[in-house]
């Protein structure tokens, strides 16, 4: 009964979404405020009804209702309760439902926090989001209904993929989706502005906080996924250039470009058509990412063959959404005008180069990810392009980008001069070069790549400190002076420092990690990076729905015990799938990482992998700093003040016409 309620809720949601996509937009076109007034209530109603659907599916999972096909495929009565809830997004159908649910959350958020927007604009934004929602609900109802029944019901479920039974992965997809779907807001704002024909800095100011929030979620989501890969896959790697990872990285690159481009559009009214295009691209890539990952196209193109309806629907949906928005762009963008002029050397030109580099980086990831797909679709067989391609392409793109990052905040808007910039950065450049030459020598090994990494990180840190020092220059109380720059300035610099911290992590791990892959019998000791690892054998430990072979490894340094590690090899009882659980002793300057390979047949020995990973946690700490920086910048008071000011203006019955700041 309850799954039928869920199914019914989806159907109602579909009709509501059609109304939400039609009425407000028609209203805005005819300047009919009654029709436009329906935007908010419909958005709220849609949110409530999709909530009902998602609650029904959670109920089916929690109550082990294996007469629901999706539940039978992705859960099991032995599955611990938290994973039964998370199994909701363990497969294709449920992920679509989660996607739609998150879309309605964003829509309600826009409806609630954008009361200061002109009614036309808000109606169009909510309308566009309704249209997107229609697409997803149709997709679900026509090809991938999570409430499809399985009759007769299964005795028990096929269990959730053990890879997904992990606390890190419980939070990873919702975070990622908050990011993906969040870009739909920027997208809707861009389309509304195109529809209304008014692309000005006001539009950019409205889009900015939404874009940044989505970007923050996406950053956290990607970082979580990478952390999970680090401790769950047992190879000690944190990024594999795997198509699934790339699918989330592409919108991140486009989103990062969008954030910077929006800044220029807001402050200087330049780059307008480029910004719109980026907003469309960021969301299109999110859509593509969702589909590529969820439909299983990338793991096997033949997933389409089993259900060609899905493949065709996906493609049609992409063509409708992306095609129509690009058509709108082609039609409206020529009227936008070029905006403020700027010189070859100026903050605008630096941000433009930043945008170009990010776009090229994004395009090369796109190429590397889809190339195997194209080859497979054309019958060339499955291929891996693999890390060599991405590493070769990425370093040369990122190095100038990071150098630019140090210069951007220093350069003046509109017109800057090279001698002036040179005067301010020469010592920073010399200092970072000295550090880049000396630090690797102190660490014991000097390679050009390590030196480059350290150069970039040092450069960012030093230019950031220099710029901050200039901004708070003057006399008086230091605390008072520190309050002079805005919060969004601090947010930006924190995010930039996050990049530096990230680069340090990557460089150190790549350059100085120690790895031992050895056969160890009980009592054997292996030495790595000054630590001794003693293997004390393996015992069997039962888990809720698996049995684990748990090893004990005692780590000591200079005869003193540092820690004990308990790496596991788990076998999940339903699927019979083996899983590796690495055991890690994290540290500020290094991680000690041990994972079990395979038992050596006929002996008590095991293949054991031991890693010393210097500074590896800095990778995720850097991501966290970027995310916090993003959060800090949207808490800037100018967004709140403008919001209030705009509201009084709007209620005063006037048209919003803000001057460019």
Partner 1 sequence: MMRFILPLVVFLVLAGFLYVGLGLDPHEVPSPLIDKPAPAFTLPQLHDSTKNFSQSEMKGKVWLLNVWSSWCVSCKEEHPLLLSLAQQNIVPIYGLDYKDKKEDAEGWLNQAGNPYTLNVMDRDGRVGINYGVYGVPETYVIDKQGIIRYKQIGPVTNESLNEKILPMVAELQRK
Q: Which residues bind partner 1 (CB under 8 A)?
A: 240, 242, 273, 277, 280, 301, 304, 308, 311-312, 315, 318-319, 322-323, 326-327, 329-330, 333-334, 371-388, 515, 517, 597-598, 607
- For partner 1, give the closer residue by CB, 80 or 386: 386
Query: What is the closest distance, in whole angstroms, from the C-beta atom of residue 172 to partner 1 in the complex?
Result: 20
SS3 of residue 487 by DSSP: helix
Query: What is the closest distance, in whole angstroms, from the C-beta atom of residue 356 to partner 1 in the complex?
Result: 15
Query: What is the closest distance, in whole angstroms, from the C-beta atom of residue 305 to partner 1 in the complex?
Result: 9
- For partner 1, give the closer residue by CB, 374 or 422: 374
- For partner 1, give the closer residue by CB, 373 or 554: 373
* Strand pairing class (578-581; 568-572): antiparallel
User: 427 Cβ partners below 8 Å, 6+ apart?
Assistant: none
Q: Report CA-CA distances (Å) from 545 to 195, 476, 573, 576, 602.
A: 54, 64, 6, 11, 27
Query: What is the closest distance, in whole angstroms, from the C-beta atom of residue 370 to partner 1 in the complex?
Result: 9
- Give the DSSP H/E element, type plus range, for residue 569: strand 568-572
- For partner 1, give the closer residue by CB, 260 or 332: 332
Query: What is the closest distance, in whole angstroms, from the C-beta atom of residue 416 to partner 1 in the complex?
Result: 27
Query: What is the closest distance, in whole angstroms, from the C-beta atom of residue 276 to partner 1 in the complex?
Result: 10
* Residue 379 backbone class (left: φ over 0; alpha: ψ -120 to 50; beta: rest): left
- For partner 1, give the closer residue by CB, 96 or 288: 288
- Give the DSSP H/E element, type plus range, for residue 506: helix 487-512
Cα 18 to Cα 207: distance, rounded to the nearest angstrom = 24
Query: What is the closest distance, in whole angstroms, from the C-beta atom of residue 9 to partner 1 in the complex?
Result: 32
**8-33 in b/e burial notation, b at 16+ Cβ within 10 A?**
ebbebbbebbbbbbbbbbebbeeeee
Q: What is the DSSP letter of 522?
A: T
- For partner 1, give the closer residue by CB, 535 or 611: 611
Cα 558 to Cα 242: distance, rounded to the nearest angstrom = 40
Sequential DSSP letters for 575-591: T--EEEE-EEE--SSEE
Query: What is the closest distance, in whole angstroms, from the C-beta atom of residue 135 to partner 1 in the complex?
Result: 15
Structure tokens at 563: 């820690």
Query: What is the closest distance, in whole angstroms, from the C-beta atom of residue 136 to partner 1 in the complex?
Result: 19
Query: What is the closest distance, in whole angstroms, from the C-beta atom of residue 388 to partner 1 in the complex?
Result: 4
- For partner 1, give the closer residue by CB, 9 or 506: 506
What are all long-range contacts of 289-293, with beta carbons under 8 Å and residues at least 24 apart?
A: 289/180, 289/247, 289/248, 289/250, 289/251, 290/95, 290/99, 290/177, 290/180, 290/247, 291/318, 292/243, 292/247, 292/369, 292/373, 293/243, 293/244, 293/247
- For partner 1, give the closer residue by CB, 260 or 272: 272
- For partner 1, give the closer residue by CB, 387 or 587: 387
**514-520, strands of its sheet edge to edge:** 514-520, 606-614, 590-599, 583-585
- Dihedral of CA atoms 633, 637, 641, 643 in degrees, nearest 10, equals 30
Listed residue (112, 107, 109) closest to 132, CA to CA: 107
State the residue for tokens 């599955």.
Answer: 79
- For partner 1, give the closer residue by CB, 89 or 249: 249
Q: At what angle do helices 2-30 and 39-62 cross, to 10 degrees?
A: 160
- For partner 1, give the closer residue by CB, 385 or 399: 385
Query: What is the closest distance, in whole angstroms, from the C-beta atom of residue 591 to partner 1 in the complex?
Result: 19
SS3 of residue 594 by DSSP: strand
């Amino acid at each position: 009964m309850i799954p039928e309620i869920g199914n019914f809720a989806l159907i109602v949601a579909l009709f509501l979404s059609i109304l939400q996509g039609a009425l407000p937009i028609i209203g805005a076109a005819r300047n009919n405020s009654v029709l436009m007034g329906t935007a908010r209530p419909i958005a709220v109603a849609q949110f409530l009804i999709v909530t009902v659907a998602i609650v029904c599916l959670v109920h089916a999972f929690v109550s082990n209702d294996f007469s629901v096909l999706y539940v039978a495929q992705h859960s099991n009565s032995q599955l611990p309760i938290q994973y039964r809830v998370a199994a909701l997004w363990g497969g294709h159908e449920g992920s679509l439902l989660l996607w739609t649910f998150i879309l309605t959350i964003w829509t309600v958020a826009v409806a609630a926090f954008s009361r200061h927007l002109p009614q036309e604009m808000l109606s169009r934004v909510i309308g566009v989001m309704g249209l997107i929602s229609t697409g997803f609900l149709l997709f679900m109802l026509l090809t991938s209904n999570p409430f499809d029944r399985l009759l007769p019901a299964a005795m028990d479920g096929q269990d959730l993929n053990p890879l997904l039974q992990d606390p890190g992965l419980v939070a990873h997809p919702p975070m990622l989706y908050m990011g993906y779907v969040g870009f739909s807001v920027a997208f809707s704002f861009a389309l509304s502005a195109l529809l209304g024909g008014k692309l000005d800095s006001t539009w950019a100011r409205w889009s900015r906080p939404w874009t940044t929030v989505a970007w923050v979620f996406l950053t956290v989501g990607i970082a979580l996924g990478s952390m999970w890969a680090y401790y769950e896959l047992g190879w000690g790697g944190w990024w594999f250039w795997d198509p699934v990872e790339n699918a989330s990285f592409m919108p991140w690159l486009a989103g990062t470009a969008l954030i910077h481009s929006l800044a220029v559009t807001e402050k200087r009214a330049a780059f307008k058509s480029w910004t719109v295009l980026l907003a469309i691209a960021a969301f299109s890539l999110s859509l593509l990412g969702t589909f590529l990952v969820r439909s299983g196209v990338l793991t096997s193109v033949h997933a389409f063959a089993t259900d060609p309806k899905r493949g065709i629907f996906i493609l049609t949906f992409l063509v409708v959404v992306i095609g129509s928005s690009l058509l709108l762009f082609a039609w409206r963008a020529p009227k936008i005008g070029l905006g403020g002029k700027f010189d070859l050397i100026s903050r605008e030109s630096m941000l433009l180069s930043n945008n170009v580099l990010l776009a090229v980086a994004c395009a090369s990831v796109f190429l590397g990810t889809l190339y195997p797909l194209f080859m497979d679709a054309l019958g060339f067989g499955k291929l891996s392009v693999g890390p060599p391609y991405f590493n070769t392409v990425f370093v040369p793109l990122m190095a100038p980008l990071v150098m630019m990052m140090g210069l951007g905040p220093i350069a003046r808007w509109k017109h800057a001069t090279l001698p002036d910039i040179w005067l301010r950065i020469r010592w920073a450049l010399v200092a970072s070069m000295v550090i880049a030459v000396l630090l690797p020598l102190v660490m014991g090994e000097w390679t050009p790549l390590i030196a480059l990494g350290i150069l970039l990180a040092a450069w960012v840190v030093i230019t950031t400190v220099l710029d901050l020092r200039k901004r708070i220059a003057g006399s008086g109380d230091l605390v008072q002076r520190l309050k002079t720059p805005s919060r969004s300035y601090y947010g930006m610099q924190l995010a930039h420092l996050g990049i530096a911290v990230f680069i340090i992590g990557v460089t150190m791990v790549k350059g100085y990690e120690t790895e031992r892959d050895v056969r160890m019998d009980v009592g054997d000791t292996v030495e790595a990076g000054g630590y001794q690892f003693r293997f004390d054998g393996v015992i069997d430990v039962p888990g809720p729905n698996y049995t684990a072979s748990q090893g004990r490894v005692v780590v000591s340094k200079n005869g003193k015990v540092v820690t004990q590690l308990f790496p596991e090899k788990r076998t999940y009882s339903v699927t019979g799938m083996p899983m590796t659980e690495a055991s890690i002793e994290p540290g500020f300057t290094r991680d000690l990482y041990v994972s079990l390979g395979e038992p050596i047949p006929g002996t008590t020995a095991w293949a054991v992998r031991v890693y010393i990973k210097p500074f590896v946690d800095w990778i995720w700490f850097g991501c966290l700093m970027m995310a916090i920086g993003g959060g800090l910048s949207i808490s800037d008071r100018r967004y709140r003040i403008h919001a209030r000011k705009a509201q009084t203006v709007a209620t005063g019955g006037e048209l919003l016409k803000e001057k460019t700041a």
